A and B are shown apart, each in its own frame.
Chain A
Amino acid sequence: MSVQDIDGRVKNILADVLGLDVSEVDETTSKDTVEAWNSLNHLTVVMALEEEFGVQFSDDDMVALVSLPVVVSIIGEKLASA
Chain B
Amino acid sequence: MNQQVAEVLAAFDENPTVARTMATVRKLEALHEQTPGLFATKSLYIVRNYTLEPIEPMLKIAAFRAGMRLSVAYSGYEPQAADTMTELVALKPDVVFLAMRLEELSTALTIDLPHTAPEQIRDLADGAIDQISGLVRAMRAQSKASVLVSTFATPVHAPGGLAATQTPGGAINLVRRLNVELVSAIGQIDGAHILDIDHLFANLGLKATYDERGSRQSHAPLAPAALRPLADLLVRHIGALKGALAKVIVVDCDNTIWGGVIGDDGMEGIVLSGAFETLHRELRDLRSRGVVLAIASKNDEINVLTCLREHPDCLLKESDFAAHRINWIDKATNIKQMAEELNLGLDHFVFIDDNPVECEWVRSQLPTVRVYQYPQELGPDGTIESLGLFDSLVVTDEDRKRTELYQADRDRKVAATEALSPEDYLRSLKNVVLIDPPAPHQLARVAQLMQKTNQFNLTTRRHERGALESMLEDPNTQILCMELNDRFGSNGLIGVGIVKVEGEEAVIDTMLMSCRVLGRNVESVLVNQMAQFAAKRGAHNLRGEYIKTAKNGMVSDLYTRLGGAQQADGSWVWSLDDGAPSIPDWFEIVSSSNEVAKTEVAA
Q: Do A and B bind each other?
A: yes
What is the CB-to-nearest-CB distance from A39 to chain B, in angstroms, rounded to a whole number? 8
Q: Does A3 contact B (CB under 8 A)?
A: no
Chain A residues with CB below 8 A from B17, complex form = 48, 51-52
Pair A17/B220 contact, Cβ less than 8 Å: no
Pair A43/B214 contact, Cβ less than 8 Å: yes
Q: Does B420 contact A (CB under 8 A)?
A: no
Chain B residues with CB below 8 A from A39, complex form = 218
Q: Does B430 contact A (CB under 8 A)?
A: no
Pair B18/A44 contact, Cβ less than 8 Å: yes
Q: Does B224 contact A (CB under 8 A)?
A: yes
| Smallest CB gap from B224: residue in A | A47
> In the complex where A16-B23, A52-B17 touch, is A47 in contact with B213 (Cβ < 8 A)?
no
Instruction: Choose from B18, B20, B23 the contact partner of A47 (Cβ within 8 Å).
Output: B18
| Number of A-B contacts defined by CB within 8 Å | 45
Q: From residue 168 to 205 of chain B, which have CB atoms closer than 8 A to chain A?
A: none
Pair A44/B217 contact, Cβ less than 8 Å: no
> In the complex where A43-B54, A43-B220, A47-B54 touch, is A52 in contact with B19 (Cβ < 8 A)?
yes
Q: What is the bound-complex CA distance between A44 and B26, given in angstroms? A: 15
| Smallest CB gap from A14: residue in B | B19
Q: Does A79 contact B (CB under 8 A)?
A: no
Pair A40/B54 contact, Cβ less than 8 Å: yes
| Smallest CB gap from B227: residue in A | A47
Q: Interface residue tally of chain A, by bracket?
A: 10 to 19
Q: Does B57 contact A (CB under 8 A)?
A: yes
Q: What is the bound-complex CA distance between A15 and B17, given in angstroms? A: 14
Central interface residue in A19, A39, A48, A62, by most chain B CB within 10 Å: A48
Q: What is the bound-complex CA distance between A48 and B53, given in angstroms? A: 14
Pair A43/B218 contact, Cβ less than 8 Å: yes
Chain B residues with CB below 8 A from A19, complex form = 22, 26
Chain B residues with CB below 8 A from A16, complex form = 19-20, 22-23
Central interface residue in B22, B51, B53, by most chain A CB within 10 Å: B22
Q: What is the bound-complex CA distance between A48 and B227, given in angstroms? A: 13
Q: With A43-B214, A43-B220 given, can you name 15 additional A-B contacts, CB distance below 8 Å?
A: A13-B19, A16-B22, A17-B22, A19-B26, A43-B53, A44-B18, A44-B22, A47-B54, A48-B17, A48-B22, A50-B224, A51-B18, A52-B17, A59-B217, A62-B217
Pair B53/A51 contact, Cβ less than 8 Å: no
Name 22 A/B residue pairs within 8 A (Cβ), A-sorted.
A16-B19, A17-B18, A17-B19, A40-B51, A40-B53, A40-B54, A43-B51, A43-B53, A43-B214, A44-B18, A44-B22, A47-B18, A47-B54, A47-B224, A48-B17, A48-B19, A48-B22, A51-B17, A59-B216, A59-B217, A62-B213, A62-B217
What is the CB-to-nearest-CB distance from A69 to chain B, in angstroms, rounded to a whole number? 19
Q: Does A12 contact B (CB under 8 A)?
A: yes
| Smallest CB gap from A40: residue in B | B53
Pair A51/B224 contact, Cβ less than 8 Å: yes
Q: What is the bound-complex CA distance between A32 and B214, given in angstroms? A: 22
Mask of A37-49 contacts with B, CB within 8 angstroms, 1/0: 0011001100110
Chain B residues with CB below 8 A from A13, complex form = 19
Q: From residue 1 to 58 of chain A, which have CB atoms closer than 8 A to chain B?
A: 12-13, 15-17, 19, 39-40, 43-44, 47-48, 50-52
Q: What is the bound-complex CA distance between A52 and B57, given in angstroms? A: 17
| Smallest CB gap from B213: residue in A | A59
Mask of B523-552 contacts with A, CB within 8 angstroms, 1/0: 000000000000000000000000000000
Q: What is the bound-complex CA distance between A43 and B213, given in angstroms? A: 11
Pair B220/A12 contact, Cβ less than 8 Å: no
Chain A residues with CB below 8 A from B57, complex form = 44
Q: What is the bound-complex CA distance between A16 and B25, given in angstroms? A: 10
Q: What is the bound-complex CA distance between A17 and B22, given in angstroms? A: 5
What is the CB-to-nearest-CB distance from A13 to chain B, in angstroms, rounded to a whole number? 5
Q: What is the bound-complex CA distance between A50 and B213, given in angstroms? A: 13
Central interface residue in A15, A16, A52, by most chain B CB within 10 Å: A16
